[in-house]
Structure 1
Amino acid sequence: MNVLVVGATGATGRLLVSQLLNRGCHVKAVVRSAERLPETVRAHAHLTLIEADILALSETELAELVSDCSAVASCLGHNLTWKGLFGQPRRLVTDAVQRLCDAIQANHKTEPTRFALMNTSGNRNRDLAEPISFAETLIVGLIRLLLPPHSDNEHAADYLRTQVGQNHPAIEWAAVRPDSLVDRSDVTDYAIYPSPTRSAIFNAGETSRINVADLMARLITEEDLWEQWKGQMPIIYNQI
């Protein structure tokens, strides 16, 4: 299976690349700097590195990138710096998702391409009318206004949910929503739910980045798991 990964040098993206390679996938990784990946990963025979800004690639270049891929995964996010939080591009994730979906459709493939998006538990799945307290609504509203990356994550998932939808002939999707992210060296037990079982603001859970990478890799490569969660926004928590 050929998989395109964007955001491949991020804290979760590089783990996803390794997980996919370990599963025998051929991975294309769009990176701004290949040096940010470990040498053992860069030297892998099944990894192709494309040093580029995903938003700077032309429509033709993007269509060519995804032409032989059965799946696309996005671990794009904003750096936790002043420029990363408040500078341009403010719609990094949303614009990348939209352009990649356009590229997938441009190839007119007979089988749908899987699109796995890393998102956040702070974003509600409005298809399910997930309940949220008044206090949390106020705080999330402030975060939406004050921190552009949160709005970007919301719009990216909403694009898949409303523009691609549930019955698109060319694209199937899932948006993985971790809670508070932590670093761990190994995959551990984790639980997956259709909706949050706790408040992302007042009672946040914990999700290790390597568990997020494991779930995304499994979704991409395991047919039964994909069929279970496609068109949904699964929440993932570490099991303690």
Structure 2
Amino acid sequence: MVVNQVKHWWVSRANAARWRSIQEWVQGRGGSFEQTADGGGFLVEIGGGGALGPLRIEWGESQRSYLPGHELRMRLSLGLHPDLQLMVVCRHLMEELERAVFEAYTDTLKTRVDTDTPEEMRWLVMFPKFEQAASQIVRQRYGVVGVTKDLCAGWIDGEFGEALVQASQDLLPEWHPFVLMAMRGNLYLRTSMAEADAARIQALVRLLESAARAAEVLSARVSETGAWPTTSSIAWSHTTRPGDGA
């Protein structure tokens, strides 16, 4: 027991130095920083400021099979219209997930995609793809799906699309797994991150905030015009919550 306590103390001290720049950035934004109990990751909580809501950031072992090793997870609580369901995903990852969904459908032992399958996989079947993004780079590097193509266009063409173009240069290089979703009134981001890096985390927060500003405009539009037509697939997407910590 004493040996384990000493080991945990050393790990905590080593991580404190390892993640000091991240902790200082979080504290500078008035947030809290905690290491996980096993010392293998951390949890950040930052209260809402300005037009944006509370932000939760986690770094640790991946909770998705398509993200090997460690991942960064973010949840930005915004109170968006519940029918605002949109996703942008690395194109290579989208193709990989589509193959997995196809195999699930064609498996002789399965007649449907299981309800515990993550939304990011089910949405590729449920929602239309938007292939007409104004930016050629966005079209080449990312896949976009959502409850309607009109909403996809409103989200991806503008500030958020420009931010994705910038991110494709170094923050999100080709083949790097990345998913950003608007659902249940919040924004969720997942991406591979072998080692927690303060500069990359801050850049991803800025990307998430750009997506949030665009989503809030769309949410207001949906609220003014009423809910979008309900379909069985849309209802299905609300029946389960993904097993994420973010």
Q: Report the TM-score when normalising by structure 1.
A: 0.26
> Looking at CA atoms only, which structure, 1 or 2, has the larger radius of gyration?
2
Larger relative contact order (CA 8 Å, sep ≥ 6): 2
Q: Report the TM-score when normalising by structure 2.
A: 0.25
